[in-house]
Homo-oligomer: A and B are copies of this chain.
Amino acid sequence: MGVTIKDIAAKAGVSTCTVSRVLNGRGKKVSADTKLRVLRAAEQLDYRPNIIARSLVQRRTWQIGLVIPSLQQPVMSQIIEGVHVAAQELGYSIVSCATCADKKREAEYLDDLHTRGVDGLVWLPPNLANLKVAQSLAASVPIIQGFRKIAGLDAPYVILDNTKGGFKATMHLIKLGHRKIAHLRAVGEEGEERYQGYKQALKQAQLPIEQELIIPTGFGWAFGYKSALRMHSRGLLSGPDPVTACFACGDMTAWGAIQAFRSLGLRVPDDMAVVGFDGLPISDEMEIPLTTIAQPGIEIGRLIVRYLHQIIEGEGEGVNSLTLDPKLIVRSSCGADKAYLEDKLTRLSIKGGQEE
């Protein structure tokens, strides 16, 4: 059906071997004349190399497996985008697998990826269920973990320093003069680390760590909303020494909390300063632009693929696990940047729809 190097060889009057050399041999000696003839023949015939055949003999597919637990998470989407971009830059295709946090599906995917002979594997926060599968896989395919790491899996990772992020967020509030700072604390690894950062900041500022200011919650708007209401019902928001600031485990949680605070009559940031965590694009769109800790998702994705490429190329010694430093994005929800808020509100009020 398709045009093969044989056809080109015939048309150009050379051997298939020469064709191969011209078409992909880097720096191999071919006379300028034959080269030209081959190239012209290839173009005239509209030749496309058969990657399958090449993979078979080279034992390299130029495909990278990507294991994703959930597509519905914004930060994850950014990492995935970064992975795609870097992969394309380096010439890899992405074979993507959406496990939907299902252990069985994950195991099947891992097996399939192995069988397919991908050159490497990007594994985003895994279900932890298939450690054995993962270990045996890691023995034959380079793996990089991203976003989170699996305890017990000996593969490099690129993750965010959640602890430092929690520290920065809390320290920002402390520097603004807040002394009574609540934390909306999520369960799970990330939540725990962010909480540790919160504690470290308080400690460094020699502020007491008060258990009643630590509100158990989760990721999502509703969690934040509920938590804020609970703070209210516990009397934390009023009285002589009320909570004046709040570090939420995530942006959506922060949003829920902010709306609850406002429905309770508190002004944000004047009565209550709020810091989020994630740096979702939407956090800058809302009425009160959210001060937050940015997760450089796209950058994480790119780094993962670059590392993976290095390992595939046999330069694995240069690759170490990486824990990225998060950035604090100061906007308006803490009152640190009043101008930002005013500007935002002006933009919102003055401008109309798309036609302007």
Decide: B115 and A51 in contact? CB cutoff 8 A: yes
B residues near A263, Cβ cutoff 8 Å: 287
A203 close to chain B: CB less than 8 A: no
Interface range, A side: 35 or more
B residues near A282, Cβ cutoff 8 Å: 221, 252
A93 close to chain B: CB less than 8 A: yes
Decide: A98 and B72 in contact? CB cutoff 8 A: no
Report how far A281 CA is from B219 CA in the complex, Å: 14
Decide: B352 and A286 in contact? CB cutoff 8 A: no
A351 close to chain B: CB less than 8 A: yes
Decide: B56 and A215 in contact? CB cutoff 8 A: no
Decide: B53 and A80 in contact? CB cutoff 8 A: no
A63 close to chain B: CB less than 8 A: yes
Question: Please, which residue of chain B has its CB at the minimum distance from the CB of A91?
Answer: B112
A302 close to chain B: CB less than 8 A: no
Residues facing B in A215-229 (CB within 8 A) are: 215-218, 220-223, 225-227, 229
Given A50-B117, A51-B115, A56-B52, verify A349-B81 contact (CB < 8 Å).
no
Report how far A55 CA is from B115 CA in the complex, Å: 12
Decide: B71 and A217 in contact? CB cutoff 8 A: no
A88 close to chain B: CB less than 8 A: yes
Report how far A259 CA is from B221 CA in the complex, Å: 15
A85 close to chain B: CB less than 8 A: yes
Decide: B52 and A61 in contact? CB cutoff 8 A: yes
Kindly name the residue among A223, A287, A351, A352 whose own CB sees the greatest number of chain B CB atoms within 10 A. A352
A125 close to chain B: CB less than 8 A: no
A110 close to chain B: CB less than 8 A: no
Residues facing B in A95-109 (CB within 8 A) are: 95-98, 100, 105, 108-109
Decide: B285 and A63 in contact? CB cutoff 8 A: no
B residues near A256, Cβ cutoff 8 Å: 285
Question: Please, which residue of chain B has its CB at the minimum distance from the CB of A71?
Answer: B77
B residues near A287, Cβ cutoff 8 Å: 225, 259, 263
Contact surface of A with B, Cβ cutoff 8 Å: 1, 48-53, 55-56, 59, 61, 63, 66, 71-72, 74, 77-78, 80-81, 84-85, 88, 93-98, 100, 105, 108-109, 112, 114-117, 186-187, 215-218, 220-223, 225-227, 229-230, 252, 256, 259, 263, 281-282, 285-287, 348-349, 351-355
- Contacts A/B (CB < 8 Å), 14 sampled: A1-B59, A53-B56, A71-B71, A72-B74, A84-B96, A84-B97, A88-B108, A93-B112, A96-B96, A187-B354, A221-B285, A222-B285, A225-B348, A226-B353
